[in-house]
Structure 1
Amino acid sequence: MAAERAHGPIGVFDSGFGGLNILAALRDLLPSEDLVYFGDSARSPYGSRPADEVVRFSLEIGRWLVDEAGSKLVVVGCNTASAVALDALRAELAVPVIGVVGAGARAARRCVGSGRVGVIGTERTIASGAYQRALADDAGVAVACPGLVEFVEAGQTTGPAVRAVIADRLAPVVDAGVEVLLLGCTHYPYLAREIQAVVGEQVTLVSPAEEAAFEVAQRLGADGLARSGAVGSLRVACSGDPVVFREIGGRLFPGELGAIEQVPVEALECRRTRSA
């Protein structure tokens, strides 16, 4: 059974473009693995949505990744979904499910010395307390940053307007004088240059992407699901306009995304209804 499942792809999903940095990390670390990415661009962002809605969306996409795309493992590339929907996904899907909250916390704790770790994320992620619990004694200030995801989703990652909003949102982080700043949203690494300019070079920025990719590699090896040999394929789907997704995603992803498949929200909702 493991040998048969090993031929399936690794599935990754996000509310939009943020998880593309995890996709890139997986491609670099596991070049022989087939990858499938789903960006829920029609319903992005997740960060200000009610938790039960995020759980519902996550289950719909998780079922699509497993039932339709044949994924052997699912990576929840959205911090908000990882914070509120991970347990539901693990209970529902018959494949391993890996989130980014634990990965991000481990990476941050390795970087911190005698100081504290600050966390920035969406309103829903910060309100869940998931990162604060994962960081435990290393946790410092945790700040919600509404509006930053929307910049990335619009393809705007630098400039005076972006920096002004970042400076406003991160004022508590600067005041707290943290040693490490955990970017608790997969969209935020695309704003890293502006974030670093605001908090200062003395602060180490940490993204969960590479740590999550290492966790995937370890799990595939432990379960006998790893592939080797030829370079793997990439399949990309979104719920919104595929032309827009390709235009913006192509600027954010360090490689060729290929054709973008559209899976309308209605198709995801029908899958939920049929499995209910």
Structure 2
Amino acid sequence: MDRDRPIGVFDSGVGGLSILRALRAELPGEDFVYFSDAGHAPYGEKGEHFVSRRSLEIAVDLLEQHRIKALVVACNTATAAAVHLLRSHHGHLPVVGVEPALKPGAALTKTGRVGVLATRGTLSSAKFQTLLTSLRHQADFVLVPCDGLAAAIEAGDEARVRELCRRYTVEVCCFGTGPGEIDTLVLGCTHYPFAEATFRELLGPAVQLVETGQPVARQTRRLLEARNLLNPHGRGGVQWRTTGAPESLQAAAARWLGLVERPAAGSGDDDLKLAA
């Protein structure tokens, strides 16, 4: 039955595990395939054409190899570059993208000022600029591109992560709950929630941190319900695919999700001829 098929989730690396975490909490009966394109990461510092091509190739691979029933693009950069192409090429497939949580941030702020941390690729994308323009009258957004932060989180380099979190929050500047201060910070990359404890330590409890996992999970549920594709009797399992080092994905899944299944290794080549 179609409802027994897994949901595909992909990212350039391990950042999408924050989205997978929220999906598994919202949809405990569903099975998933997580595809990490770590052999070509980070997407946020590559061109839009490259990211679009990779996204289309990965979608085809997941459809052919795993017969996925829905696709979650668990990467802000890939969503901005390719979600419209994925929906156009695969009209039968529910496709859910992610975007920096500007709308929730605007709804939460009391001071009217919201900081946004994201990759350079996300902040410069036409999709993000359209979203930003639509919300300009709701809040004042302070944007900071965070070069290197996703890669440091991916590598598990805690010292480098702390250094970069400190640098970029200083660039946002003036956090607090008083007039003119920034009381809400949007973590605009799927990697960044895994540095939440560091951000919280740097900013204190008064600043609200906003990420996108739960809204994405709820939207995925809505689309599956609308197509009668919910699987209440699945085992909640995850299959793993990667174009990078399987050990890195395995370690990240164990560290952040408590999952230790061994990922399938890939060749790392552009043709996506990966182990089944």
- With normalisation by structure 1, the TM-score equals 0.88
Indicate the larger mover: 79-88 or 193-202: 193-202
Instruction: Tell me, yes or no, if structure 1 residue 194 matches structure 2 residue 192.
Output: no
Write the letter of the residue equivalent to 1:100: V
Instruction: Tell me, yes or no, if structure 1 residue 68 matches structure 2 residue 65.
Output: yes
Q: What are the equivalent positions in structure 2 for 1:1-276 lying under 5 Å apart?
A: 4-93=1-90, 94-101=92-99, 104-135=101-132, 136-137=135-136, 138-156=139-157, 158-159=158-159, 161-175=160-174, 177-252=181-256, 254-266=257-269, 268-269=271-272
String of CA shifts for 1:138-158, please: whole Å, max 9, x gaps: 3511110001011111112x3
Residues 1:13 and 1:230: Cα distance change in structure 2 (over 3 Å): closer
Q: Percent identity?
A: 34
Residue 8 (structure 1) shift = 1.2
Distance 1:73 1:154 in 2: 29
Residues 132 and 139 in structure 1, CA contact (< 8 A), matched pair in contact too:
no
Residue 263 (structure 1) shift = 2.9
Residue 107 (structure 1) shift = 3.2
Write the letter of the residue equivalent to 1:146: D
- With normalisation by structure 2, the TM-score equals 0.88
Residue 265 (structure 1) shift = 3.1
Q: Which runs of 4+ in 1 moved over 6 A?
A: none
Write the letter of the residue equivalent to 1:18: G
Residue 124 (structure 1) shift = 0.3
Distance 2:172 2:130 in 1: 18
Distance 1:149 1:114 in 2: 28
Residue 195 (structure 1) shift = 1.9
Residue 166 (structure 1) shift = 1.8
String of CA shifts for 1:225-263, please: whole Å, max 9, x gaps: 1111243321111111112321233212x2224121123
Distance 1:175 1:244 in 2: 36
Q: Which runs of 5+ in 2 are unaligned?
A: 176-180
Distance 2:23 2:254 in 1: 17
Q: Which runs of 5+ in 1 are unaligned?
A: 272-276
